[in-house]
Amino acid sequence: MSPESIWFYELAGERHGPAATAEVLALYGRGEISSSTLVWREGLADWTPFSASELASAVGARPGPPAMPPVLSAVPPPVPRSAEPFIPRAARLRPGFRPSIRDSYGRAWELLKTRFWPFVGCFALASLILSVASQFYIPIFFLMFPIMGGLYWYILRCVRGKEVTIEVLFEGFRRQFGPLAIANLIVAGIGTAVAIVAVIVIAIPIMLFTQGGQGQIEDPLVIGAIIGGSFLLFFVFLFPLMILGVVGTFATLLILDCEIKAGEALALGWRATKPHLFKFLLFMLVNAALSFAGMLALYVGMFITGAWASIALVYLYEDAFGEEAVPGR
């Protein structure tokens, strides 16, 4: 390495330079850049960490006399997007959080209109990946949260005014896959247990009535009681599953946003949801109604309503756990 080399270096995802070798070493010595900082000079194919460059071997060497730097004959490549540092947020619930269904859907619609096709396309892609994974049954118990986490993370960055690319959809696999998979297993396990209990409870009255004989089961009043009771029990057990879905979504975003463990994320998600069960049930019922309306619209409309509902849910998360005011509110 020549002491006259011209270097460029990255800070917070931005390119800085040109700078002479001695200047870059001085920045390192003052702690303004670190061993993981990306650097580049003419002759290198791409950006490389400071620790993997010739600069690392020159740390502590006696500086030579200053010299006029040579003229650059090449332009440095763009700084990789992955160089943008990720700083986890503090995982805490906003004091006085109160969910607003109308407000969250209103803001979600306004944001959806600004990036309509990207949002709809991302929701469709995530749904397609999820449907393929669900065909194998077992993977859905630990892949649903990483898949949907990427979609929610894409939306959350848009809500916060950050730059997004299609690669963000795979953030749940690139980062925090383990905690997301564990949270997925916990939520799926609880949901499966609730579903099994519901099937057993609904089946018991039917079995009791059928034991009374064929004539009794043909009685219209008995048939009506069985059908009405089954529907009632179905909705009674459906409500906990809806709340579990909200808690799971909050936990997914907390794991990606704050890099906390699955148990802590689920506990925080439940803490935000528990005081407002009725409002979140109403939100999920509106979500279900939108999904049904989307299916009626030649099924394609489900991607639009699904994207809309997903954005609204992310706004609820930001209202509950965000650190600053949400743009557009």
Residue 211's pLDDT is: 61
Mean pLDDT computed over 312-324: 89
Single-letter residue type at 230: S
Residue 16's pLDDT is: 82
Mean pLDDT computed over 104-132: 92
30 and 126 inside one domain: no
Residue 114 pLDDT exceeds 70: yes
127 and 176 inside one domain: yes
The more confidently predicted of residues 13 and 254 is 254
Which one of 83, 112, 134 terminates a domain? 83
Note whether residue 96 is domain-resident.
Answer: no
The more confidently predicted of residues 1 and 58 is 58
Residue 273 pLDDT exceeds 90: yes
Residue 197's pLDDT is: 83
Residue 312's pLDDT is: 95
Is the CB of residue 126 less than 8 Å from the CB of residue 150?
A: yes
Q: Which residues form the domain of 302?
A: 101-321
Instruction: Select the highest-mean-pLDDT range: 156-170, 196-210, 258-272.
Output: 258-272
Residue 327's pLDDT is: 44
Mean pLDDT computed over 267-296: 89
Note whether residue 127 is domain-resident.
Answer: yes
248 and 112 inside one domain: yes
50 and 148 inside one domain: no
Q: Mean pLDDT of all residues in the chain?
A: 81
Residue 109's pLDDT is: 94
The more confidently predicted of residues 312 and 165 is 312
249 and 120 inside one domain: yes
Least confident residue range of 85-89, 234-238, 302-306: 234-238
State what percent of residues in the chain have pLDDT above 70: 77
Q: Let me know if 286 is exposed, middle or buried by CB neighbors in 10 A (0-12, 13-18, 19+).
A: middle
Residue 11 pLDDT exceeds 70: yes
What distance in Å separates the CA atoms of residue 257 and residue 62, rounded to the nearest whole number?
A: 44
Query: Which helix (DSSP H) or strand (DSSP E) does residue 14 occupy?
Result: strand 14-20
pLDDT band for position 76 (cuts 50, 70, 90):
low
- Write the CA distances from 93 to 90, 96, 167, integer angstroms: 9, 9, 29
Give the model confidence (pLDDT) of 24-55 as tens digits.
888 888 888 888 888 888 888 888 888 888 88
Opening angle at CA 112, ends 161 and 271, nearest 5: 70
Is the CB of residue 152 less than 8 Å from the CB of residue 253?
A: yes
Helix %, strand %, coil % for the chain, to 5?
65, 5, 30
What distance in Å separates the CA atoms of residue 191 and residue 185, rounded to the nearest whole number?
A: 10
79 and 105 inside one domain: no
Residue 142's pLDDT is: 87
pLDDT band for position 328 (cuts 50, 70, 90):
very low
pLDDT band for position 329 (cuts 50, 70, 90):
very low
Note whether residue 212 is domain-resident.
Answer: yes
Residue 40's pLDDT is: 87
79 and 127 inside one domain: no
Residue 194, token pair as written in the block: 């609730």
Note whether residue 255 is domain-resident.
Answer: yes
Single-letter residue type at 181: A
216 and 76 inside one domain: no
105 and 79 inside one domain: no
What distance in Å separates the CA atoms of residue 134 and residue 1, rounded to the nearest whole number?
A: 54
Opening angle at CA 188, ends 182 and 193, nearest 5: 130
176 and 62 inside one domain: no
Residue 230 pLDDT exceeds 80: no
Note whether residue 1 is domain-resident.
Answer: no
Number of domains the chain is built from: 2
Nearest to 39 by CA among 67, 82, 68, 79: 79
What distance in Å separates the CA atoms of residue 215 and residue 218, rounded to the nearest whole number?
A: 5
Q: Given the structure tokens 């303004």, which residue do they identify?
A: 32
Which one of 83, 114, 148 terminates a domain? 83
CATH number, domain at 73? Answer: 3.30.1490
Note whether residue 89 is domain-resident.
Answer: no
Nearest to 147 by CA among 175, 169, 167: 169
- Write the CA distances from 14 to 39, 74, 80, 175, integer angstroms: 11, 18, 9, 22
163 and 306 inside one domain: yes
The more confidently predicted of residues 117 and 220 is 117
Residue 256's pLDDT is: 95
Give the model confidence (pLDDT) of 54-66 as tens digits.
888 777 544 444 4
182 and 296 inside one domain: yes
Residue 283 pLDDT exceeds 80: yes
Mean pLDDT computed over 172-193: 92
Give the model confidence (pLDDT) of 188-206 as tens digits.
999 888 888 877 876 766 6
Note whether residue 267 is domain-resident.
Answer: yes
Strand order in the sheet with 38-41: 14-20, 6-11, 38-41, 48-49
Note whether residue 90 is domain-resident.
Answer: no
What distance in Å separates the CA atoms of residue 7 and residue 40, rounded to the nearest whole number?
A: 6
